[in-house]
Amino acid sequence: MSRRHLLSRLGWGSAALAASGLARAADPPAHPHTSIPKADEPASAPLPPSRPDGSYTPVRTLNGWTLPYKLVNGVKEFHLVAEEVEHEFAPGSVAKCWGYNGSTPGPTIEAVEGDRVRIYVTNRLGEPTTVHWHGILLPSGMDGVGGLSQRHIQPGETYVYEFSLRQHGSHMYHPHADEMTQIAMGMMGLFIVHPRQREAIDRDYAFLMHNWALHPGTSRPDPSVMQNFDLWTFNSKTFPAIEPLVARSGERVRVRVGNLSMWNHPIHMHGVRFEVTGGDGGRWPRAQWRREVTEIVGVGQVRDLEFVAVPGDWALHCHMSHHTMGPMGHEIPNAIGVDQSGVEDEIRKLLPGYMAMGKDGMSEHGGHVAMGMLPGPDNTLPMMTGEGPLGPLEMGGMFTLIKVRDDLAPGDYRDPGWYRSPAREQARRISSDPDFGSPVRRTVALTAPAEVLQADPHAAHRRHGG
C-alpha cells in the first residue's frame, strides 16, 4: 500500500474536507492559475443575479429525475451518494450497477447561470471515487480529478464541492477515479445550467447515451470490454422501456443528448428537420445554428436539438444499426441464404427445442421470442423486441418515439397511446404478387458492361394472361 493511500485510509481525506469548511460562502483564495473568469466578463465582474425558480422550463430526464436542493444562505445545496444500485434495463434484464442516489444515471442537477452551488458527495462504494463536473468552468481544486486536483473520496467519506455558475448549457458529471470501471458500471449524470434570460422552449428533454457489457446470463456489467457491448441505452434503458418524448403540435421542443459511451452516435430524428442550437458550450448564437436530420454526438459531447412538433409518432434513434438491437452473439456464422432444415433436425437430437434461424434475415427472431418459442439465457433481453399498433417494431437499444398530438394540454407528459394516421396518409398494400408491375432492373454481365433493360409496357399484361 502506498504512503498516500495509507494516509488517506487513516483519515487524511476527511481531515482535508473539514479543513475546507463544509459551508463556506466564498471561493478559495484567488490564484493566478485557477481564476477562470467568464470569457466575456472581466475577472472582477459581479455574479449575475439568480432568477427565481419556475422562470425556466424544467428539464424532463427520460426515465429519470431531477435532484432537489436546499437553499442555505443563498447557496443551492445538493447531495449526491455514489453507491451500488439494482437497475432494470428493460423487463427481463436486471443488473447490479453503480450510480448515484439509487439510480443510473444519477439524478439531473438543474441550476441557473449565476447560482452558487454546494454539492456534497458521499462515497458508499467499496473503492475511492471523485466527481468531475464535465464542461463546467470552476476553480482547479473543484474539478474532481483524483490525485491531481483533489484527494480521492475514500469509502464512507463525504466531500464537498462549491463553485459559482458563470455559464449556461448542457453538461454532465462523472467520476475521474478508476474511470473505466466506474463509468462502465453506470456512474454518470446530467448537469443543466439554464441561462439568465428565459428561452422560448415549451418542452425540454434530456438523456445520456451509454453502452454496457452485460453478458448473457450474468447480472453485473463487465468493465473490461472495449467494443463488443451487449446493451445500448438512453438513460440506462433499452427500447421498449425508454420513455417516449411527448409534445403538443406546434410546441418548440429541445432534446439534450449527452454521450458518455465508448462510441460516437449519429442521432436521427424522423418527421422534422431539427436545428442544432448548442451543447456543452451553451446555446450558440442563432447565426451558428444548423438544420439537420442526423447529428453525430461524439464521445464526451452534448448536443442540443430543437424542433417544432408536428403530429404523429416519430422515431428517434441512433443510426448505427446494431445500436438499435439487443444482445447479439459476436463472430457467429452468417446463416443468411443457408438452408438449415436438415441440420436443424440433427441438432434437435442433442438440443431439444433448437430452432435454426437467419436464412432470410433475423425478423423471425423477434417473432419467435414474442410467441415464447425461443427462450434465451437468463437475465438477457432478446435481440429485437417491441410491438407497435401495426406489428412488431423489431427494435431495441437506442430507440424511442416522439409522440405529438394536437390535443395535449401544456405540461401533460402522459403517453397518449398510438397515433392513427388518416387513411389517405397511410401506406397500404395494393398487391401480394411478387411479380407485380414492370420495374426497371439493371443487369450486370460478368464479362460485359452493365446494361439497363428498358421496361416492357406489355410484360405485366402477358404475365397475367392478357
User: Could you tell me which of 129, 76, 69 has the C-alpha nearest to residue 99?
Assistant: 129
The rounded distance, in Å, linking the Cα atoms of 429 and 433 is 11
Domain contains 364: no
- CB-based contact 235:207 (threshold 8 Å): yes
Residue identified by cell 448515484 is 100
Residue identified by cell 464537498 is 160
Write down the pLDDT at residue 36.
33
Domain contains 430: no
Reply yes or no on whether the pLDDT at 8 is more than 70. Answer: no
Domain contains 296: yes
**Bridge pairing between strands 116-123 and 158-164:** antiparallel
Domain contains 431: no
Write down the pLDDT at residue 28.
33
Domain tally, the chain: 1
pTM to 2 decimal places: 0.76
Domain contains 283: yes
C-alpha cell at 411: 405540461
CA 235 centroid distance within chain: 5
For the chain, helix, strand, coil in percent to 5 are 15, 35, 55
User: Could you tell me which of 162, 97, 102 has the C-alpha nearest to residue 131?
Assistant: 162
**Range with lowest mean pLDDT among 216-225, 326-335, 386-395, 419-428:** 326-335
**Bridge pairing between strands 385-388 and 294-297:** unpaired
Reply yes or no on whether the pLDDT at 46 is more than 90. Answer: no
- CB-based contact 259:265 (threshold 8 Å): yes
Domain contains 21: no
Write down the pLDDT at residue 232.
87
The rounded distance, in Å, linking the Cα atoms of 73 and 460 is 82
Domain contains 422: no
**Range with lowest mean pLDDT among 2-6, 76-80, 190-194, 203-207:** 2-6
* pLDDT tens string 298-332: 999 999 999 999 999 999 999 988 888 877 655 55
Residue type present at position 54: G
- Mean of per-residue pLDDT scores for the chain: 80
**How far is CA 333 from each of CA 52, 330, 336, 338, rounded to the nearest angstrom?**
60, 9, 9, 11
Q: What percentage of residues in the chain have a pLDDT greater than 70?
A: 73
Question: What CATH number has the domain bearing residue 104?
Answer: 2.60.40.420
- CB-based contact 380:210 (threshold 8 Å): no
The rounded distance, in Å, linking the Cα atoms of 466 and 460 is 9
**CA 232-235-240 angle, 5° bins:** 65
Domain assignment of residue 109, given as a range: 47-318
Write down the pLDDT at residue 21.
34
Mean pLDDT, rounded, for 194-223:
91
Domain contains 388: no
Write down the pLDDT at residue 198.
87
